[in-house]
Amino acid sequence: MTRPVPPALVHGRRLPNTWDVAAMALVFALLIGVAHVAQGTMAPLARMKSGHIHLNPAWLPGYALRTTLRMFAALLVSLGFTFTVATLAAKSRRAAIIIIPILDILQSIPILGFISFTVLFFLHLFPGQELGAELAVVFVIFTSQAWNMAFSFYQSLTTEPADLVEACRSFGLTPWQRFWRLDVPFAVPGLVWNTMLSMSGGWFFVVASEAITVGHTTFTLPGIGSYVAVALQHRDFAAIVYALLAMLVVILLYDQLLFRPLVAWSGKFRFETVPSAGETEPWVLRLLRRTFLLRAAGDWLSDQFAHVVRLRLGRADRKFGSAGLDRATGRISDAAFYAVVIIAAGAAAAQVVEFCARTMYWSDLAQCVVLAFYTLARVIAALVISCVIWVPVGVWVGFRPWATRLVQPAAQFLAAFPANLVFPVVVAGIVHFRLAPNIWLTPLMILGTQWYVLFNVVAGAAALPGDLKEAASNFRLSGLLWWRRLIIPGILPYFVTGALTATGAAWNASIVAEVASWGHTTLVARGLGAYIAQATMAGNTSRIVLGVAVMAAFVLGFNRLVWRPLYAYASRRTNFG
């Protein structure tokens, strides 16, 4: 199986270019704009009655359902975004030049830092209604999912096999037909994989965003996340355990009913010419395929779908390919387009500068950068610890097919489980034993994402060619040499993939992990995450924007300066054959 590569490892350059700068200006101007609108709405906020959360476990199934529905609503929006924006970027060279860097920056922005703004923004749109809050939560999940899905789709669209594209053109398929016959099917394996990663990450954010405190107002939407938040305030340990159990059940259902069947089904769209050796069919898919009634229903559905797909919407491309087409007019509209982008970016940059000049000092920036280094140290420490634990375990497991079959699904399951639900338990422990929060809050950051390291290492070790292992034992490679010559080079691309995902999420998690409370006791670790969290609680717009910008810069820099070169190096070295 060819493994999907995270977009952050593929796209863009190491050094930012003009378009990156323009994209950055646009993104931050937008964020500031949103924050600006949001700030004006502090007053009507108070009027909104937030739903009351019952700690009685009988309410939990209902809460769990609502949380799940939010997830799926966001997923639909993300898919819509993916299909439109990524297609636009792939079909228009001009659009791509600005959309791609924007997506790259957006996916490095710590979403949690902006929850308060987005919530306020949507409340402003629907004053006094719960709908606004619902939309806000959906939007937060959307922002955690959409970018890498769009990237993955864009990546597929730009790497379509030339012969299939020519076949589509020479048979005269309309754009609509081509979209469903070539574009989407070719993208399915990567898209499903990225959607699953997104969904797994999404649970974390849905839980975090259901109960938000902005300024002096806390408002809650019925759901598992708000249930936990209320339980925390009441120091109700039993309720937290109930919530954990409910979440376990939800993730288990999601994993069994959706994740596994989808991944197995997407195998059909893998672009390969040899049938892959027997992978087990998930029971849900088996049920769908073997049960007469379900199969009949499925056939009917796919018939209807095929009917829609065959619609001859749009005109078939009966023109030549774009080789050397109308250079003069192309150049003029190019110039016009670039001018518009540059003017927009310039205006955006002016707004950002003006905003910063009005509300901030250089000392703020310096403070942020120092704090960012604290958090960076914490991220690295957490990563190192999880590597020391999981790399040997992963290699051990990957070398044993039976263990791989057991561990892989478990690791994927654990990665989907929102770790922030477990935070209170750990925090209670820290409070109880009076441990130093600066050190002991660190592991929380990587609690939920360490599993990415594990299952990527397992996959890497399992994919190591058997003859290499045999050669290694034939030449009696052992100990350090065995690691250095066989294992580390062999699993490096997989490891980088896992570590990139883990660290990206760890930065995000720092916002909830560096400040944790248990009843009325609040633990604070020194770091950028805590800075952003406290600014959010204080409703200090400029500090939030600054903190988020610095964190985004650190994430982006880390990806480009560490992971991307490392990945390029690793995949060059381990290109078997």
Partner 1 sequence: MDQQTAPGILLDVRNCRQSYPKEANSELVVLDDVNVTLREGEIVGLLGRSGSGKSTLLRIIAGLLRPTRGDVSWKGAPVRGPVRGVAMVFQSFALFPWLTVQENVELGLEAQGVARREREERAEEAIDLIGLGGYDGAYPKELSGGMRQRVGLARALVTHPDLLLMDEPFSALDVLTAETLRTDLIDLWSEGKLPVKSILIVTHNIEEAVLMCDRILVFSSDPGRVAHELRVPFPHPRNRLDPAFRKMVDDIYAVMTRRKSPADLKAEAAHPATGFATPLHPIGTNLMSGLMETLAAPPYDGRADLPALASVLQYEADELLPLGETLQLLRFAELEDGDIRLTEQGRTFVNADTEERKKIFAAAALANVKLVAAIRQVIDERWNHRASAVRFRDELEDHMSPERAEETLRTAISWGRYAEIYSYDEEAQQFSLEDIEEE
295-323: b (≥16 Cβ within 10 Å) or e: eeeeeeeeeeeeeeeeeeeeeeeeeeeee
- Report how far Cα 282 is from the mean position of its chain's Cα atoms: 25
Q: Residue 172 region, left (φ>0) first, then alpha (ψ -120 to 50), else beta?
A: left
Please give the Cα distance from 66 to 59 (Å, whole number): 11
Residue 576 found at the interface with partner 1 (CB under 8 A): no
Least distance from partner 1 to the Cβ atom of residue 303, Å = 10
Residue 47 found at the interface with partner 1 (CB under 8 A): no
Using an 8 Å Cβ cutoff, are 494 and 456 in contact? yes
Among 163, 474, 479, 576, binds partner 1 (CB under 8 A): 163
Among 3, 36, 94, 310, binds partner 1 (CB under 8 A): 310
Residue 181 found at the interface with partner 1 (CB under 8 A): yes
Residue 571 found at the interface with partner 1 (CB under 8 A): no
Burial of 117 (0-12, 13-18, 19+ CB in 10 A): buried
Residue 24 found at the interface with partner 1 (CB under 8 A): no
Burial of 235 (0-12, 13-18, 19+ CB in 10 A): middle
Give the angle subtended at the CA of 373 by the CAs of 371 and 375, to the nearest 5°.
75
Using an 8 Å Cβ cutoff, are 379 and 510 in contact? yes
Residue 272 found at the interface with partner 1 (CB under 8 A): yes
Q: 534 Cβ partners below 8 Å, 6+ apart?
A: 515, 524
Among 61, 128, 321, 565, binds partner 1 (CB under 8 A): 321
Of 66-74, 140-148, 177-185, 496-504, the window that binds partner 1 (rule: CB under 8 A) is: 177-185
Residue 577 found at the interface with partner 1 (CB under 8 A): no
Among 56, 273, 329, 363, binds partner 1 (CB under 8 A): 273
Residue 320 found at the interface with partner 1 (CB under 8 A): yes
Using an 8 Å Cβ cutoff, are 123 and 45 in contact? yes
Least distance from partner 1 to the Cβ atom of residue 490, Å = 18
Give which of 218, 220, 230 is closest to 66, Cα–Cα: 220
Among 312, 331, 405, 484, binds partner 1 (CB under 8 A): 312
Pattern 197-236, binding to partner 1, x per CB under 8 A? ----------------------------------------
Please give the Cα distance from 195 to 71 (Å, whole number): 12
Shorter beta-carbon distance to partner 1: residue 171 or 475: 171
Residues 337, 342, 345, 349, Cα dihedral to 10° = -170
Shorter beta-carbon distance to partner 1: residue 166 or 470: 166
Give which of 32, 573, 4 is closest to 269, Cα–Cα: 4
Among 1, 69, 167, 481, binds partner 1 (CB under 8 A): 167
Residue 564 found at the interface with partner 1 (CB under 8 A): no
Among 3, 94, 169, 485, binds partner 1 (CB under 8 A): 169
Least distance from partner 1 to the Cβ atom of residue 164, Å = 5
Please give the Cα distance from 534 to 530 (Å, whole number): 6
Residue 171 found at the interface with partner 1 (CB under 8 A): yes
Among 43, 47, 275, 576, binds partner 1 (CB under 8 A): 275
Burial of 279 (0-12, 13-18, 19+ CB in 10 A): exposed
Shorter beta-carbon distance to partner 1: residue 234 or 315: 315
Shorter beta-carbon distance to partner 1: residue 310 or 485: 310
Residue 295 found at the interface with partner 1 (CB under 8 A): no
Among 52, 319, 432, 434, binds partner 1 (CB under 8 A): 319
Give which of 78, 99, 79 is closest to 158, Cα–Cα: 99
Least distance from partner 1 to the Cβ atom of residue 571, Å = 13
Among 47, 49, 52, 268, binds partner 1 (CB under 8 A): 268
Shorter beta-carbon distance to partner 1: residue 241 or 325: 325
Among 79, 316, 562, 566, binds partner 1 (CB under 8 A): 316
DSSP state of 266: H
Using an 8 Å Cβ cutoff, are 445 and 378 in contact? yes
Least distance from partner 1 to the Cβ atom of residue 255, Å = 25
Of 8-16, 166-174, 333-341, 488-496, the window that binds partner 1 (rule: CB under 8 A) is: 166-174
Please give the Cα distance from 154 to 7 (Å, whole number): 10
Residue 325 found at the interface with partner 1 (CB under 8 A): yes
Residue 264 found at the interface with partner 1 (CB under 8 A): no
Using an 8 Å Cβ cutoff, are 85 and 243 in contact? no
Please give the Cα distance from 216 to 72 (Å, whole number): 31
Residues in region 453-512 near partner 1 by CB under 8 A: none
Q: What end-to-end distance do the CA atoms of the chain give, in Å?
A: 16
Residues in region 428-457 near partner 1 by CB under 8 A: none
Least distance from partner 1 to the Cβ atom of residue 184, Å = 10
Number of residues that bind partner 1 (CB under 8 A): 37
Number of CB atoms found within 10 A of residue 124's CB: 19
Residue 172 found at the interface with partner 1 (CB under 8 A): yes
> Which residues of the shown chain bind partner 1 in the complex (CB under 8 A)?
161, 163-164, 166-167, 169-174, 177, 181-182, 185, 188, 268-275, 310, 312, 316-321, 323-325, 569, 572
